[in-house]
Chain A
Amino acid sequence: MRVKLTVNGAEHDMQDLEPDMPLLWVLRDELGLTGPKYGCGIAQCGACTVHIDGVAVRSCQVPAGDVWGAVTTIEGLGTPEAPHPVQAAWISHQVAQCGYCQSGQIMQAASLLAETPTPSDSDIDDAMSGNLCRCGTYPRIREAVKTAAAKLSKE
């Protein structure tokens, strides 16, 4: 079927795509956006997290034919030259080790802070526990979320 997507502000009109192809694979293999990562394919790791209309979703679970709004990937959140405040906090706390989960962690954190600008410790635990990090960067993820929250609330 014909699938139209808005990704990071750009329109994509795909004439013939399987409607059940997960958004993750449309982004990665059809559109070449490799910031969202494949980790599990069953919504257990969160590495594929993107935003649809600003809300975090697991792109491995969203069929291409069902995308209901504008998609933002980590590439659309900010850049190395102009990072989003969440990304800036991730850089200053040096959160990443292997870094593979961090696109998803950052997208999840940005969504959390958009909805809950001053999250409590348990808000952070609840929102971030679906994003797996095999290197064990959780302590710094907690710290970076708090730093980003403080910065965003000042803006």
Chain B
Amino acid sequence: MAGLKTIARRTFLIGSAAIAGGVAFGLYKYQTPHANPLLDNLPEGAAALTPYVLITGQDITLITPRADKGQGATSVQAALIAEELDVGLDQIKTDPGPPSPAYYNTALSGDAVPFRSTDDSFLAETTRAVMDAPIKFLGLQITGGSTTVPDGYQKLRMAGAVARETLKTAAARMHGVDRGLLRTERGTVILPDGTRLPYQTLAATAATLDPAREVTLRDPAQWRLLGKPMQRVDIPAKSTGTQAYGIDQKHPGMLHAAIRLNPAQGGDLRGFDATEAEAMRGVVKVVAVTGGIGVIADNTWRAFQAAEAVSVDWGPAPYPADMDGHWNALSNSFTPEHQDSQFRDEGDVDAALAQGTDLAFEYRAPYLAHAPLEPINATVLVGAGRVDVWTGTQIPRFVQKNVAQLAGVEPDNVHIHALMIGGSFGHRLEDDVVRHATTLAKAVPGTPVKLTYSREEDMTHDYPRQIAMARGRGRVSGGKVETYDLGIAMPSVMASQMSRQGLPTPGPDLQIVAGAWDQPFDIPNYRVTGYRAPELAPISSWRSVGASSNGFFHDCFLDELIHAAGADPLAERLRLCTHGPSRRVLETVGEMSNWGGALAPGQGRGVAFCLSFGVPCAQVIEISDTDAGIRIDRVFVAADVGRILDPVNFEGLVKGGVIFGLGHAMNCEITYAGGAAEQRNFDSFPGMRLYQCPEIEVRGLETARKIRGIGEPPVPPAAAALGNAIFAATGQRLREMPFNKAVDFA
């Protein structure tokens, strides 16, 4: 483990500092991407402390800065620290900590460079390391991209190990024993005579010490918690109605607010008349916000009612009013002027297609709302020179900056209290709700205001998933796929999203082709081109981002070519696949599903594959074509994340991802009419309901070289596997989502 020692010295400078009545351990200075030998001699205490482990006379608190939106981020971050600290998850508290650049995401850079995740070359790794510098410089404390585990895997264990070793030194000094004779277990240092010293009793002394500078991380074979089934720390509260989400905030004197925004998202507020609303019971104030009005009242329902009673004059939509305009914009974007990237161009596609095209098809993916079940909300208190914000967010430092600007205070005086999030799927990467809540709270200084979006306001201002279109052309010969050419057109998600934070996004947007250009197949003539459509409706990252549409496009077109070649869908994918872990997930789902085995009449079986966020994921879906419609019988999933930290949570996230992918592919779209989203609630945007949920069997593989997250990778293959299964059962090809436009589902 010498390599890790070097990393400890060069990459991290570990520090501790006394806090009131206790000690905090953490990583407070990050190395530049290029190794700097001077760092080894950097004086202690050169930078402010940012703790991951906080021990007071009473409690052990583990700091878990990545937002928990249901994916179990709090638990897995705590477990990574606790594994090395030697505490049980039943012995600790967790706290998301304050927003800080020190908590920047070290794993974001992997998806920001044009190298396939399967590319381990020196050039690819070097470019990723260089890309890490601006992310660090910007202090991007962001939760997203399935990065919580790869980001924290090493640094959180390191934080636990440093704290443990320092506590041992404290015990050795206090009791005059050789620290080499000390052991640790369940939150105690054990003296040679068996006496157990709780960490809490060592905190004051530990705070006076230089923390351990070099630690050795344990071999995974020695792990007590990680890699074994764990009980997530949030489960009991979430099963008893005692988990407090943002929407459950209660403060003395708090007022409740509702909002009504221009139904055309981003359109102006031209004027309003609140006379009637202001006379309604419980209404305190009606306030203009950007693009709409807010009502402050003494009860949420009264605020909702009053918001509807305001008469408002709205400006037009800043994008095409109807869907034809959106689809035409995509259709017109397959031109050289709109070309954004062509990172994959192998063989000679043009020469091959000059001999004739066997297949040419167009595919479509609609806008989709994130629609987490907890409507977005934020509670803000504007005080004298200080603002407090209680909300769930994936971007705490942006929130801090934006609130500071609106409230006219320094960012340091904006205190973000990060809360558990009732689902996100990317929705909490946007922060309008906090900005609007701040505007409202400014109208009643000194009084906390909780802004809750109605479901209708939330769904119609959701910053949906990108709309996208793909065109595939290809040739087959001798029973094999010979030429594969896919063009994908969509507006840039990253440009839309980052523009709301005032950040430029230079260069190609990798998300336009994610889940397509980077697939581990070796096709003789193989090209994937990204076309940047003009900005349309404002869009945002939706669970698996570009791959959520492109996984469907890429794999379904491949399936069409394989069928045209007369090859077996699984065997031909395996023949074309060049990447070990990807081959293994395909082989695994083949085995799990007894691929090739007999099916009942009316049944069909489809396979799909997508590598996204570095994780190869394959799925086989079995369906029945019944009198009541298509019924999904069983889904078999295999994914390889390198190492599974909690098999129970892993299985839950995979199943949830499959259900998320299927439910939207079957049943959901957001469409605009007259500039407004037509789907306003779950009656017209249901996702999947329980009666449609198939049996899902999951197998996690651990053969890939790097550890990865599993929140997103199960989503992209689901729609493709369903489309391919429906073709196998019925002969009908579905090239546009949602599928319920073309078929009924039982």
Contact = CB atoms under 8 A, between A and B. Distances in A.
Interface of A: 18, 21-22, 25, 28-30, 32, 34-42, 44-45, 47, 73-75, 77-80, 83, 87, 90-91, 94-103, 106, 124-126, 128-142
Max chain A Cβ within 10 angstroms of own Cβ: one of B247, B281, B682: B682
A134 B372 contact: yes
A126 B691 contact: yes
Interface of B: 69-72, 231-232, 234-245, 247-248, 250, 256, 281, 299-302, 304, 371-375, 420-425, 452, 454-455, 648-649, 652-653, 655-660, 663, 681-683, 686-691, 693, 695-696
14 contacts: A21-B301, A22-B301, A25-B299, A35-B241, A38-B300, A40-B682, A44-B682, A45-B682, A87-B240, A91-B235, A98-B70, A98-B373, A98-B374, A137-B656
Contacts of B452: 38
B691 A94 contact: no
Contact of B691 (A95, A97, A125): A125
Contacts of B658: 136
B690 A78 contact: no
Given A78-B240, A138-B693, A42 B683 contact: yes
A80 B690 contact: no
B70 A102 contact: no
B369 to A, nearest CB: 10
A140 B240 contact: no
Nearest to B688: A136
Nearest to B656: A136
Contacts of B690: 124-125, 128-129, 131, 133, 138, 141-142
A76 B92 CA distance: 27
Given A94-B235, A125-B690, A128-B690, A139 B696 contact: yes
A98 to B, nearest CB: 3
Contact of B239 (A44, A96, A129, A130): A96
Given A38-B300, A74-B240, A96 B687 contact: no
Nearest to B661: A136
A94 B256 contact: no
A107 to B, nearest CB: 9
B375 A39 contact: yes
A141 B660 CA distance: 16
B300 A75 contact: no
B653 A97 contact: yes
A137 B652 contact: yes
A106 B239 contact: yes
Contacts of A133: 373, 690
Q: Give 8 closest A-B pairs by Cβ, nearest first.
A: A35-B241, A98-B70, A99-B238, A136-B659, A100-B422, A74-B241, A136-B656, A25-B301
A94 B681 contact: no
A66 to B, nearest CB: 15
Nearest to A138: B693
Q: Helix, strand, loop or mixed for chain A's interface?
A: loop
A137 B214 CA distance: 42
A134 B239 contact: no
B299 A29 contact: yes
Nearest to B694: A139
Contacts of B422: 37, 98-100
A81 to B, nearest CB: 9
Given A87-B240, A138-B688, 20 more contacts: A28-B300, A29-B256, A34-B250, A40-B455, A41-B304, A73-B241, A75-B242, A94-B232, A94-B652, A96-B239, A97-B423, A98-B423, A99-B238, A100-B372, A100-B423, A129-B690, A132-B686, A136-B688, A136-B693, A140-B655
Contacts of A22: 301
A101 B683 CA distance: 16
A94 B656 contact: no
Nearest to A47: B373
A80 B688 contact: no
Nearest to B243: A99
A116 to B, nearest CB: 16
A114 B26 CA distance: 51
B373 A132 contact: yes
Contacts of A100: 70, 245, 372-374, 422-423
Contacts of A39: 373-375, 455, 682
B584 to A, nearest CB: 24
A11 to B, nearest CB: 21
A36 B240 CA distance: 10
A74 B281 CA distance: 30
Contacts of A95: 235, 239
Given A44-B681, A83-B239, A37 B374 contact: yes
A95 B364 CA distance: 34
Contacts of B244: 34
B649 A94 contact: yes
Nearest to A73: B241
A135 B655 CA distance: 9
Interface centre among A18, A130, A131 (most CB of B within 10 A): A18
Contact of A91 (B239, B653, B657): B239
A40 B681 contact: yes
Contacts of A103: 241
Nearest to A42: B681
A57 B33 CA distance: 58
B20 to A, nearest CB: 30
A79 B240 contact: yes
Nearest to B372: A134
Contact of B663 (A18, A29, A131, A136): A136
Contacts of A139: 655, 693, 695-696
Contacts of B656: 97, 135-137
Given A35-B242, A136-B663, A97 B71 contact: yes
B257 to A, nearest CB: 12
Nearest to A82: B240
A21 B689 CA distance: 28
A125 B746 CA distance: 13
Interface centre among A22, A97, A124, A132 (most CB of B within 10 A): A97
A34 B423 CA distance: 17
Contacts of B659: 136, 138
Nearest to B422: A100
B454 A129 contact: no
A91 B239 CA distance: 6
B497 to A, nearest CB: 21
Given A42-B683, A97-B652, A138-B693, A80 B300 contact: no
A4 B245 CA distance: 28
A44 B683 contact: yes
A136 B373 contact: no
